[in-house]
Every structure is written in C-alpha cells, then in structure tokens.
Amino acid sequence: MTSLLLGIALFLLIHLVPQFPALKDRFVSKIGLMGYRGLHGIVALTSIVLIVYGYFESRNDPVVIWDPPFWTRHLVATLMIIASVLVFAAPFAGKVKEKLTSPLAVALKLWALSHLIGNGTLGDIVLFGFFLAFAVSYRISLKKRISAGLVTVPQGRWVHDLYALVLGLGFYVIMVLWAHEWAFDVSPIL
C-alpha cells in the first residue's frame, strides 16, 4: 500500500501545479516551458508506475471493506459505457466538449465512481476514491480558469461527437471482451 500512497501523492502534487497558475508560472520562469513539461511528464509517469505497482501489490493481500452486491456489476457496466465515450469526446471539439468543458474529467469521475460501487477492498477505495476526489477538484479549478479567461472552450461540431461515440463504444467493447481481463486479471462480464 506504501507504493500506492506514494504514487497518489506524487500524482496529486504534479497535477495540482497547473491548477495554480502563479505556481506554474514560477516553475516555467525557473526551468523554462520545455523543462516544466519534461519534469511534469517524468513525475506524472513515475507516479502512474507507483500507483499501478501499489494497486496490484494491494490485491495480493486485500483488506475487504465491503462485498458489493451482484447488481452493482450492471450499474458499473452502464456507467463505463458513458465514461468510455466521454474519454474520446475530450480530444474532439464537439458539442459534448462545449457543454461539459472537460469530458475527460467527467469520464474520470464516472470511472472512479463506478469502480468504487463495484469493488470493496481498501486498495480499491484508496485508488478510486482518490481519482474521484481529484477529478472533482480538477473540474472546480477548470471552471475558475475558464471564468478568469485562462482557458477557452472551442465551439463544438456534432460530427466530432459522432467520432467520440464510435471510438468510445469500440474501446468499451475491446475492454469488456478482452483488454480489462488481460490488463487487470478481472473479467468485467463474469
């Protein structure tokens, strides 16, 4: 669990910097924009590695907090369809992005919430609870930055939402039928 907590702390620290423009500007003025981006990337990647390692480590001797009822699998599956489409709405300037401002943050909230509903070990609660809280804080920060004129949301086109729908549904099918079990040793359909 130590690796998971350390990874979460690093992830939080490096991702909080952009939420405070004055702090980010100080970093950029000291090490330059490319230095900042490089440092951000290295720390973010390191944190992800620690989170993944720590999460899998926590599954070796899980501390069960609650045992989710069977019906939660259906709720998780439904929420994950929406989250999968929203992940792919993020890079396209569609109407969904125009309305949500950050479909990726909404997808992260749905992903984390659904996995909190469907899993009951301490490692799951720590991991998915953290990402749910992070996504909420990110959305609040983003709305403040949009209000301050630091971030603009492009006008959306419906055709881009169609791309997101097709790609998101394709991703969902691949995850359900193969990739989730391959990557996490858990079948979402059993």
pLDDT in tens, 140-153: 888 888 888 878 88
Q: What is the structure's pLDDT at 117?
A: 95
Amino acid at 146: I
Greater model confidence, 114 or 154: 114
Determine the pLDDT at residue 168.
97
SS (H, E, C) the chain: CHHHHHHHHHHHHHHHHHHCHHHHHHHHHHHHHHHHHHHHHHHHHHHHHHHHHHHHHHHHCCCECCCCCCCHHHHHHHHHHHHHHHHHHCCCCCHHHHHHCCHHHHHHHHHHHHHHHHCCEHHHHHHHHHHHHHHHHHHHHHHHHHHCCCCCCCCCCHHHHHHHHHHHHHHHHHHHHHHHHHHHCCCCCC
- CA atoms of 80 and 185, how far apart (whole Å): 18
* pLDDT for residue 19 is more than 80: no
| Bridge partners, residue 121, by sequence | 64
User: How far apart are alpha carbons 161 and 144 in whole angstroms?
Assistant: 25
The predicted structure's pLDDT at residue 127:
96
Residue 190 in this model has a pLDDT that exceeds 80: no
Q: Per-residue pLDDT averaged across 89-103, rounded? A: 91
Q: Mean pLDDT over residues 160-189, rounded? A: 93
Could you tell me which residue, 176 or 148, shows the higher pLDDT?
Answer: 176
C-alpha 110: how far from chain center: 9
User: What are the structural domain ranges in the chain?
Assistant: 1-61, 64-190
Q: What pLDDT is attached to residue 109?
A: 97
More reliable by pLDDT, 152 or 67: 67
Q: Is the pLDDT of residue 138 over 90?
A: no
pLDDT level of residue 8 (50, 70, 90 thresholds): very high
Count of alpha carbons within 13 angstroms of residue 41, beta-carbon side: 6
Please give the mean pLDDT across all residues of the chain. 92
